[in-house]
Each structure stands twice: as C-alpha cells, then as structure tokens.
C-alpha cells in the first residue's frame, strides 16, 4: 500500500477565457510536481486561445488579450503537459474542471489523452471533509491554515498555495487508499457553500429553502448534505420549522 509520504503528486491549475469547460479556452496553465516534503519541478505558461476573454474572467485573473500575443496555442503545449503529469496523482481545487479542460483541448487537437480515468484528489472535497472552514475557497483556506497568498488567481500562485493547503488537509491520512475510499462517498458538509445562506450551518437554514435546494442541479456533496438535513428534521432530530412559529422570521 503506497504511503503518501513516499509519493510524487502533480498540482495543476488553469485560467480560462470564461467559465464553460466546453466553449471556453485555457489561457494560462501551471503545474508543480511535489512530495509532502518538497516541491520538485514546476512550469507555467500563458496560452493563446482562439476566442475572446470574457469580462467576468478578466476581472478574476487580469490576463488581457495583449498579454497572450505570440504565446503558443494549447495544442502545441499539450504533449509537454501530459508528459509532465505522467502517472502521478493530480491534485487541484475543483480539479475535475481543469482535467475536463485538458481532455476537451486534447480531443479538439486530436492528441491522445488518458486523463479521463487518471487518479486525482480534489482539495475542494478534502476541505469539505475537513469541515472546519465555513468557506472552502482557496483564498479562505489559505487564511484558515495561515498559508501565504501572493498573486491569487494566477495559475502558478494558486498551485503553490494549493500544495500547502493539500498538505494540511491530508495530515490524518497515511495512504492513497484511505483518501480514495472516503472520497468515493458523498461528503456531509457543515456549512452552506453558496446562495443567500452561504456560510450558515445547514441546521440553521429554513426548511423551505432546503426543500427548494434539494431539487437543484448541485454537486453530489451539496445535494447529500441538503437531503441529509431534511431527513434529520423529518425524523425529529432538531427544532423543525414545521412546528416553529418563528420560522418565517429566519
């Protein structure tokens, strides 16, 4: 059974022209090969896309079209990126999105890519499992764990910050099997991560809102958390709004 301390990982982050993994394009990518003891090797590059950068995306990463003039297209960079990743476990915050970006780019360029079934650890889900931070954004986790945050929302800065956060989040685990087993199941979260009740304990959220949210297209962890709280209230596990005359004041 491989021990975490003996493994090499690759932390990955992409900045984009927008938020859609299919329609939008990578404009910056960074990766760092590391162990739990040290960073080993890294690279970062700007990427020339074939579409415009949305104002919303620019407001986050501040990468302009002028900065991308003369930069290589993603199809030229993909072989180097895939070789760098190799067979190492990929680490990232919401890493499924970054992997999907690379898979889509490889398919468009007709470049062989085996990332679809590649092992990965999502620090967003590990942070939900950890449970003691009401906001699991990379920046807030950095504050929570006292990790220096310099140049956030640029790919390499986010990668370096993410690596330190990953080390905090896996402290109680010894092997990859332990992490894989626990992440294979939905995670029951303590705090609502979005919407008008963002940051509140699920037990404090009005039942009408939870009933509405239970039918939304949220990820498995959030839906599991919402439905678990509804089940708890149905079973009489708390002071239910159903019998609470002050519920309308929430």
Tokens 């650890």 -> residue = 121
For residue 28, what are the β-bridge partners?
15, 46
Q: Which residues of 107-121 are buried (b: 16+ CB within 10 A; e: fewer)?
A: eeeeeebebeebebb
Cβ atoms of 113 and 102 within 8 Å: the answer is: yes
Contacts of 103 (CB under 8 A, 6+ apart): 113, 115, 116
**Distances 39 to 11, 14, 214 between C-alpha atoms, Å:** 10, 19, 41
CA–CA gap between residue 104 and residue 43 (Å, rounded): 21
Degrees to nearest 5, angle at CA 191 with 188 and 193: 100
Q: How many CB atoms lie within 10 A of CB 250?
A: 14
CA gyration radius, the chain:
20
CA–CA gap between residue 114 and residue 234 (Å, rounded): 45
CA–CA gap between residue 163 and residue 12 (Å, rounded): 10
Residues forming the active site = 153
Q: Which helix (H) or strand (E) holds 237?
A: none
């Amino acid at each position: 059974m491989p021990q975490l301390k003996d493994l090499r990982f690759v932390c990955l982050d992409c900045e984009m022209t927008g938020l859609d993994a299919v329609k939008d394009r990578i404009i910056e990518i960074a990766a760092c090969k590391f162990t739990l003891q040290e960073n080993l090797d890294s690279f970062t590059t700007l990427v020339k896309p074939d579409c415009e950068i949305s104002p919303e995306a620019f407001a986050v990463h501040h990468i302009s079209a002028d900065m991308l003039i003369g930069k290589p297209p993603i199809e030229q960079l993909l072989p180097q990126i895939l070789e760098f990743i190799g067979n190492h476990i990929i680490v990232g915050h919401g890493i499924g999105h970054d992997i999907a970006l690379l898979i889509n780019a490889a398919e468009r360029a007709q470049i062989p890519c085996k990332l679809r079934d590649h092992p990965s650890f999502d620090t967003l889900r590990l942070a939900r499992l950890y449970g003691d931070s009401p906001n699991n954004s990379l920046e807030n986790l950095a504050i929570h764990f006292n990790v220096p945050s310099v140049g956030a929302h640029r790919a390499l800065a986010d990668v370096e910050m993410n690596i330190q956060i990953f080390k905090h989040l896996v402290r109680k685990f010894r092997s990859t099997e332990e992490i894989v087993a626990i992440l294979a199941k939905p995670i029951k979260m303590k705090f609502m991560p979005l919407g008008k009740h963002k940051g509140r304990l699920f037990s404090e959220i009005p039942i009408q809102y939870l009933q509405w949210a239970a039918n939304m297209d949220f990820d498995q962890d959030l839906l599991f958390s919402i439905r678990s709280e509804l089940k708890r209230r149905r079973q009489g596990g708390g002071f239910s709004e159903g019998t609470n005359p002050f519920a309308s004041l929430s």
